[in-house]
Amino acid sequence: MVWAAWQASREDPEAVVVSFHADHVVSPLAALVVLLRAAARVAREERLLLTVGAPPDRAEVGYGYIQPGAPLDPGPGLEAFRVTAFHEKPDVETAASYVARGYLWNTGIFVWPASLFLEEVRNHAPELGGLLQHLERGDHAQFFRRAPQTSVDQAVLERSDRVGVMRANFQWDDVGSWEALARTREPDERGNVTQGDGHVVDGSGNVVFSQGGPVVLFGVQDLVVVRTEQVTLVTDRAHGPHLKELLERLPEALRRLEE
């Protein structure tokens, strides 16, 4: 993301960058386009790093939350705020309190002037800002070799005081989890969702994904079963949001579910 902002600012000093993760479901798309245009204007005029926050419809423990603060003026039909704080993935009770207090899900959709982002990187993320000299010398390979693995939230947004949030006026979901498969695909008459060669007999509420051959479930409920060419995962749906914890505890050779 730092490299992209640097490249954009080289081509246009007034460039505004929009960043997406790959695993969103958005509806209607036209509303997203309207919001992003407004966000680009607010980001330029207010000199802010903007994120898009989705109003939560459940106490989700798999998402980060944004605490909105003072209101901004994004234009008719839209809402925007300064960000008071970011909150990492909570437990169920804390998530419920966030929902009750009007916090927003952090969608990972970002809008900001490239020059401002680089300025905040220099000011608040010295572990990255100190490496910009390599880009300025044209040594991109050295920049990527030395850049630490970190998220933009932790490296920049949580440290900066120039951050705002646009409240999403569209339906949004993050399909980066197996539980999201159940929310975004049509279930059968017993609530099972399958993708690939999956079959459920006398079972209900299961999520099945197979790209490595047939999978058959018989007489079970509320499981997530994932079969790939490399590995098979079986867990209950309640543990779905905690798969990153599982990966940290597995041997290196088995950490293939993210591929």
The predicted-structure confidence for 238-249, as pLDDT tens digits, reads as follows 887 677 777 778
- Encoded amino acid at 111, one letter: V
144 pLDDT higher than 50 = yes
Question: How many angstroms from the chain centroid is the CA of residue 153?
Answer: 10
Residue 256 has a pLDDT of 53
Chain-wide mean pLDDT for the chain? 90
CA distance 184 to 67: 27
Q: What is the pLDDT of residues 37-62, one digit of tens each?
A: 999 999 999 999 999 999 998 898 88
CA distance 257 to 259: 5
259 pLDDT higher than 70 = no
| 235-240 long-range Cβ contacts below 8 angstroms, 24+ apart | 237/179, 237/182, 237/205, 237/207, 240/62, 240/177, 240/178, 240/179
89 pLDDT higher than 90 = no
CA-based end-to-end distance of the chain:
21
- In the chain, the domains with their CATH numbers are 2-174 (3.90.550.10), 178-254 (no CATH)
Q: What is the pLDDT of residues 106-129, one digit of tens each?
A: 999 999 999 999 999 999 999 999
Percentage of the residues of the chain whose pLDDT score is greater than 70: 96
